[in-house]
Amino acid sequence: MSNKTKVILRSGKDDAIKRYHPWVFSGAIKKIHGPQADGSLVEVFSNRDEYLGAGLYHDASIAVRIMSFAPERPDELDADFWHQKLAAAYKMRETTKLTDNKNTNVYRLVHGEGDHLPGLIIDHYNGNLVVQAHAIGIHKYRNEIAESLKRIFGEKLKSIYYKSKDTLPGEFSKSEEAEGFLYGNTESDIVIEYGHKFDIDFIHGQKTGFFIDQRVNRQLLTQYASGKTILNTFCYSGGFSVYALAAGAKTVESLDSSRKALELAEKNVALNFTDTSNHSVILADAVQYIRENQKTYDLIILDPPAFAKHSNVRHNAVQGYKRLNAEAIRQITPGGILFTFSCSQVVSMGLFKSTVIAAAIQAGRQVRILHQMNQPADHPINAFHPEGEYLKGLVLYIK
């Protein structure tokens, strides 16, 4: 007999979990038998007392994140459990040719639900790992996770930095343990992505230090950048700018509202090119700048942060995307190109596409869709968790 806390679902609320969706919402719970400590391992049962899975509990809207759907009920999430899951994530990156790649040594090793590890993100930067917990349950196991990572990477491992101050809920985010090295002490390192160099600051950078999810889309930009005048808005550390310059862009302007981001962008451009005279930075609010600026460009990149974090603000987000895209489309020379993105989970590709088309109509321009973009293979989508499909983008030809 298990002595674990038993979470019993309401009648009819077990369908999602039977289809291996890893979240149990608090509204689906009928009763909880046993202690309700945040971060503890609990067992989930249907209203008819069928065992459905074991997961980590938190008194919040997502009350349980299922860590195991296997019929064998885990006693605890021990070192072997973590090692099996993390080794499986590593193996998948081996399959996608990312673990031993001369041109790219930055990739996402663990993508939460996409790797059957809800609440956990791990990014790999040239032998340095940045671990980020989005749930208290995961935070509790950070040492087991680090031990397994040491086993997987062996001598290739330089450091493990735990970075969860901005992602853990409540008092845990303030604790000293929310951030710091679990192994080694590399604070920053130069990585390569498709042969381009980037200096990554793990400690002070946004998220885990770099927006790895745009790798393939940045590579696509190289097909269109040669000879063009380019505005890269929401540029952060200059990812798209470096690729555009390498592809022979005439000029690239990198725009961000963060001074620190622009410093990183300038640093990364200088790391790749001796002559940086065709690159400049603009410190501004992108929306305002695009609205007020009268200059035109051959190619504009729009990669804003998520406008909607929840479905109740989806409508406002859609209006925001529409305004931004309409203004950008107006600034593009005939025959020019727009790379436009949304990383809002609650805005689907269909909705994003119709929003951008509405923006083109508003701008009075003809557009054709040349490419539809997505997140790369190291950010896999768990087929039973469609919410994991968050990044979408379009390449438009503007007449």
Active site residues: 343
Q: How far apart are the first and last CA of the chain?
A: 69
202 is an interface residue for ligand SAH by CB under 6 A: no
Helices (H) and strands (E) counted in the chain, each on its own, are 10, 20
DSSP notation for 249-281: -SEEEEEES-HHHHHHHHHHHHHH-S--TTEEE
User: Which residue of 38, 113, 193, 303 would you call a contact of ligand SAH, by CB under 6 A?
Assistant: 303
- Residues 337 and 329: beta-carbon distance below 8 Å: no
User: Which residue of 145, 235, 249, 326 would you call a contact of ligand SAH, by CB under 6 A?
Assistant: 235
Task: Please give the structure tokens belonging to residue 130.
Answer: 């940045």
Which range touches ligand SAH (CB under 6 A), out of 12-20, 40-48, 282-290, 352-360?
A: 282-290
243 is an interface residue for ligand SAH by CB under 6 A: no
Q: Which is nearer to ligand SAH, 137 or 393 (CB)?
A: 393
- In sequence order, which residues have a C-beta less than 8 Å from that of residue 229 and are 6 or more positions away? 249, 250, 251, 297, 298, 299
* Rg of the Cα atoms in the chain: 23
User: Which residue of 211, 224, 339, 352 would you call a contact of ligand SAH, by CB under 6 A?
Assistant: 211
Which range touches ligand SAH (CB under 6 A), out of 33-41, 133-141, 173-181, 255-263?
A: 255-263
Which range touches ligand SAH (CB under 6 A), out of 244-252, 284-292, 318-326, 346-354?
A: 284-292
Return the residue matching tokens 């925001």: 320
- In sequence order, which residues have a C-beta less than 8 Å from that of residue 259 and are 6 or more positions away? 283
User: Which residue of 305, 315, 319, 368 would you call a contact of ligand SAH, by CB under 6 A?
Assistant: 305
Say how far apart CA 267 and CA 355 lie, in whole Å: 35
Q: What is the DSSP letter of 209?
A: S
Task: Please give the structure tokens belonging to residue 173.
Answer: 């985010």
Return the residue matching tokens 């002559």: 275
User: What's the closest the beta carbon of residue 259 comes to ligand SAH, in angstroms?
Assistant: 9
Return the residue matching tokens 């862009």: 249
Q: Which is nearer to ligand SAH, 58 or 228 (CB)?
A: 228
Report how many residues bind ligand SAH under the rule CB under 6 A: 18
256 is an interface residue for ligand SAH by CB under 6 A: yes
258 is an interface residue for ligand SAH by CB under 6 A: yes
Give the count of alpha carbons within 13 A of 120, CB side only: 27
Q: Which is nearer to ligand SAH, 36 or 257 (CB)?
A: 257
Using CB under 6 A, which residues numbered 56 to 85 contact ligand SAH? none
Q: Which is nearer to ligand SAH, 76 or 285 (CB)?
A: 285
Which range touches ligand SAH (CB under 6 A), out of 126-134, 137-145, 250-258, 370-378?
A: 250-258
286 is an interface residue for ligand SAH by CB under 6 A: yes
User: Is 272 exposed, middle or buried (CB count within 10 Å of its CB: 0-12, 13-18, 19+)?
Assistant: middle
Binding residues for ligand SAH, per CB under 6 A?
206, 211, 214, 234-237, 239-240, 256-258, 261, 285-287, 303, 305
